Amino acid sequence: MTDIIKGRGTKESPLVDELIAADSLPVPEGLSADGNYDPQLTHIEFSTYYDRDYAALELEHMWKKSWQYACREEDIPAVGDRYPYDVGPLSFIIIRSADNKFKAFHNSCLHRGTKLCTHMTSTDQIRCPFHGWTWNIDGSIKNIPEQWDFPYVDESYRLPEAKLDTWGGCIFINPDPEAAPLAESLGVLPGHFSHFDLADRFTLAFTTKKIRANWKQVWAAFLEAYHVAETHYDAVNFTGDANTKYDCFDDGKAIISRLITPAGVPSPTLEDRISGRQAAITTIQSFANALGPAAQATLPDVNSMEKFGRKEIAAWRRETMAEMLGADLSALSDAEMIDSIQYAMFPNFGPWLGEGLPLIYQFLPLGDNPDESLFTVRLTAPIPKGAPRPPAAPLTHLDFDDFFESLPEWGRIAHVFDQDMSNLPIIQSGVRAAASSRSRLSLGRYQEQRIALMHEFVERKIAEGQAAGR
Ligand code: FES
Ligand SMILES: [Fe+2]
């Protein structure tokens, strides 16, 4: 095998390490760290995206045995607030059971199984809509109508719980009672996010979308920047796609991966037909459009500036956003102010680092159908300095054929999401249509390594579960 080529830079669009080295502030250690792991999996069958038996193995050995991201603490701010977390056919009630206490109950009535929570809501008890069995929010049994008929029901009829822990204001659960602590699955995340605390942020936009594609297909569509030139063709003038940096970190217990796609430079696919200066001007205009009319008025007079590039965009953004958000962003490096820095903790947690594009992704199977999934995404912002935490944006729902562009809160990002979404159903139907002689993925060794890593994670979990005979 030949060596892996780690991205392609050009004069106007160098590789990320070079760009970061020239930025105005040094990046924190975690951001400049190189991954320590190259995914080994090379043979990945298309059938892993649609085979029902494979989906059943994922459910049994991965979803039932992994720490996974359910929601944010801010989604359930008051005692009694609850959020239904559905993963395939599994379902959990995430509830704030006391001031700073959270629980995850299996979402199934102990009488005849009815789901106890179907939407975000809040009451001081958990009551089944069928016959009215009722529990306290700490899970203890409260009342059974006509109790004389159930003489065997006693205090042991507590709602069964899944393990729950939090990090960065995010709530994670693990249905496996034997699970090791969450910290073991977070790996490098706490270190890399130590100066960009997700707990100190609030949700500006929050949407869940149904998609006609397997959950791994949807994840994979966001794990690489290789698709930018073709799918997001209108972003190549200001997006460093082929010079994106990819890293995988494996400490023996957690596998975390990351991409850094630089902004303010043209795509290397343009072969320097656009200058770095022109790319930077387009970038700042795009950021200003996203921030609204007030930001337009603050744009620097680029014609009078001898130099205009990443440093200047970052400086403008630091100042404008600090003012608009009432937040101190002076410690964030240029890369954190403008680039797309996306992390993945499989199976379903995708936090972004920095103000470039501060999103949190979640990917989930939908019901029992491996051809469908749920993509839930939120946009966050820092809590204004000295102010109380603003309320999180309410969750909006998009059905299979709905567009992000129908939701004003997503601004310019909506168009980008809709470009990605339009591919997914044809990817899913396409893998089913493959010739049997060509029915496996052909992944780029560098740019698509995180897709290999995702499949490796799933395979590892299935193998572990089968070895343990459970
Ligand atoms: S099924 Fe819940 S009370 Fe009967
Ligand atoms: Fe995309």
Residue 293 pLDDT exceeds 90: no
Q: In ligand 1, which atom is closest to the CA atom of 109?
A: 2
Mean pLDDT of 249-259: 97
pLDDT tens digits along 193-207: 999 999 999 999 999
Ligand nearest to the CA of 159: 1
pLDDT value of residue 408: 94
pLDDT tens digits along 204-230: 999 999 999 999 999 999 999 999 999
Interior/surface letters 189-215, b for 16+ CB within 10 angstroms, e for the rest = beebbeebebeebbbbbbbebebbbbb
Atom 4 of ligand 1: nearest residue by CA position: 131
pLDDT value of residue 291: 81
Ligand nearest to the CA of 424: 2
Mean pLDDT of 436-465: 97
pLDDT tens digits along 328-377: 999 999 999 999 999 999 999 999 999 999 999 999 999 999 999 999 99
Which run of H or of E encompasses 465?
A: helix 449-467
Q: In ligand 1, which atom is closest to the CA atom of 114?
A: 1
pLDDT tens digits along 375-415: 999 999 999 989 999 999 999 999 999 999 999 999 989 99
Mean pLDDT of 87-100: 97
**Probe target for ligand 1 pocket from 108, 117, 125, 130, with the most ligand atoms within 8 Å of CB:** 130
- Choice between 179 and 385, residue whose per-residue pLDDT is larger: 179
- Two tokens, residue 369: 């159908």
Atom 3 of ligand 1: nearest residue by CA position: 131
Residue 1 pLDDT exceeds 70: no
Atom 1 of ligand 1: nearest residue by CA position: 112
Nearest Cα to 19, choosing from 351, 311, 277? Answer: 311
Provide the mean pLDDT of the chain.
96
Q: List residues, by chain if needed, whose CB lies under 5 Å from ion ligand 2.
A: 420
Mean pLDDT of 286-290: 89
CA of 147 to the centre of ligand 2 (A): 55
Q: In ligand 1, which atom is closest to the CA atom of 132?
A: 3
In angstroms, the CA 348 to CA 60 distance is 16
Domains of the chain with bracketed CATH: 16-52+188-277+311-467 (3.90.380), 68-174 (2.102.10.10)
Residues with CB under 6 Å of ligand 1 are 109, 111-112, 114, 128, 130-133
CA of 412 to the centre of ligand 2 (A): 13
Ligand nearest to the CA of 342: 2
pLDDT tens digits along 20-73: 999 999 999 999 999 999 998 889 999 999 999 999 999 999 999 999 999 999
Nearest Cα to 237, choosing from 286, 190, 192? Answer: 286
CA of 227 to the centre of ligand 2 (A): 7
In angstroms, the CA 159 to CA 104 distance is 9
pLDDT value of residue 436: 97
CA of 72 to the centre of ligand 2 (A): 24
Q: Angle 276-291/310-325 helices, nearest 10 degrees?
A: 10
pLDDT value of residue 470: 61
Residue 296 pLDDT exceeds 90: no
CA-to-CA dists, residue 295 to 235, 288, 298, angstroms: 20, 5, 5
In angstroms, the CA 4 to CA 355 distance is 31
**Where does the pLDDT of residue 301 fall: very low under 50, low under 70, confident under 90, or very high at 90 and above?**
very high
